């Protein structure tokens, strides 16, 4: 009888310990790399940054450019990466970052299936389904805030941001497209749903022409930056006369300046903000992450008066 009692006591003890471990188990936090999600039978990869308190946290999706990757955009390849500043912002502001990886297309480079009809080198994957499912899964897994989902993409990732704003606008609160313009010949159906937009383009961009035309490398025709801004102003029914702010030219060696145009009072409190980088090239402005001379021979000048990620978050967090 005594042996049986001891045996039962041990079972109860270990049972209690096991239940206590399950109850106190915490969600893994920080930057989680090389995560996978199945989309229509295909495995897709992404990185995710999980903040200290993911419950009710906003989500920001970061989209790399053509020939980029989720590693590259976060600076994990030991190269300069202005988007890596988002990691500091996410830690300070308690944001979930989703950093999906594109697929290799006919060009042999990794990228996104955006709306440009003539960009034959893009992959043919259903990237809208991928990103849409990734958002849904993250909201469900971490109890994140479904009313605060944002997109920030550059170049091909900026064009993909436009596509998401056309095809899943009801899932997004706002987006920011960097060095990208609206395609002339689009494979997407234009939505009429209001969504706040931020556009940041350089006037001397050698790849995506500021005044519209052929994207370098036969990668489709785009409208001019002004026409692109006008589209979003009209779609959101904002005021057509912008508030114009000339930002301080704190870096006098970058051959560029920044002017901010704010179009406010749109439908459902939407807003359109345009950062005109006069003299800027196909680059993200940054104070911390400065590109080298050789890279700038290809993309031209990088503005050093503002931190792109900080300006984008300043825009997102008011929405």
Could you tell me the domains of the chain? 29-316 (3.40.50.1820)
Exposure letters 215-232 (e unless 16+ CB within 10 A, then b): beeebbbbbbbbebbbbb
**Whats the size of the chain, residue-wise?**
319
Tell me the C-alpha distance between 295 and 39, whole Å: 35
Q: Is residue 263 within 8 Å of residue 271, measured between CB atoms?
A: yes
What pLDDT does 218 receive? 81
What pLDDT does 155 receive? 98
What pLDDT does 242 receive? 98
What pLDDT does 21 receive? 31
Tell me the C-alpha distance between 101 and 104, whole Å: 10
Full-prediction pTM beyond 0.85? yes
The tens place of each residue's pLDDT in the chain, 319 residues long, gives 333 333 333 333 333 333 333 322 357 999 999 999 999 899 999 999 999 999 999 999 999 999 999 999 999 999 999 999 999 999 999 999 999 999 999 989 999 999 998 888 899 999 999 999 999 999 999 999 999 999 999 999 999 999 999 999 999 999 999 999 999 999 988 999 999 999 999 999 999 999 999 999 889 999 999 999 999 999 999 999 999 999 999 999 999 999 999 999 999 999 999 999 999 999 999 999 999 999 999 999 999 999 999 999 999 999 9
Tell me the C-alpha distance between 287 and 278, whole Å: 17
Tell me the C-alpha distance between 84 and 310, whole Å: 11
């Amino acid at each position: 009888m005594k042996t049986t009692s001891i045996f039962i006591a041990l079972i109860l003890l270990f049972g209690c310990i096991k239940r206590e471990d399950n109850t106190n188990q915490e969600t893994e936090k920080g930057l989680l790399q090389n995560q996978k999600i199945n989309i229509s039978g295909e495995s897709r990869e992404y990185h995710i940054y999980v903040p200290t308190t993911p419950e009710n946290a906003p989500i920001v999706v970061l989209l790399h450019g053509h020939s980029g990757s989720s590693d590259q955009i976060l600076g994990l390849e030991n190269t300069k990466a202005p988007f890596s500043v988002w990691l500091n912002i996410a830690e300070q502001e308690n944001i979930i970052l989703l950093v999906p990886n594109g697929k290799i297309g006919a060009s042999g480079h990794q990228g996104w299936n955006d709306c440009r009809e003539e960009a034959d080198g893009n992959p043919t994957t259903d990237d809208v389904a991928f990103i849409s499912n990734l958002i849904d899964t993250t909201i469900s897994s971490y109890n994140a805030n479904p009313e605060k989902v944002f997109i920030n993409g550059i170049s091909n990732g900026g064009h993909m941001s436009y596509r998401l704003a056309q095809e899943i606008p009801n899932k997004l609160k706002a987006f920011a497209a960097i060095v990208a313009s609206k395609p002339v010949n689009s494979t997407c159906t234009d939505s009429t749903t209001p969504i706040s937009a931020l556009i940041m383009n350089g006037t001397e961009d050698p790849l995506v022409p500021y005044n519209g035309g052929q994207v370098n490398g036969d990668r489709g025709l785009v409208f001019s930056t002004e026409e692109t801004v006008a589209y979003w102003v009209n779609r959101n029914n904002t005021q057509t006369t912008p508030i114009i702010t000339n930002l301080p030219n704190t870096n006098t060696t970058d051959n560029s300046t920044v002017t901010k145009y704010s179009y406010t009072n749109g439908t459902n409190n939407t807003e359109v903000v345009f950062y005109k980088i006069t003299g800027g090239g196909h680059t993200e402005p940054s104070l911390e992450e400065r590109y080298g001379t050789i890279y700038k021979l290809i993309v031209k000048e990088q503005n050093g008066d503002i931190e792109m990620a900080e300006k984008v978050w300043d825009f997102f967090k008011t929405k």
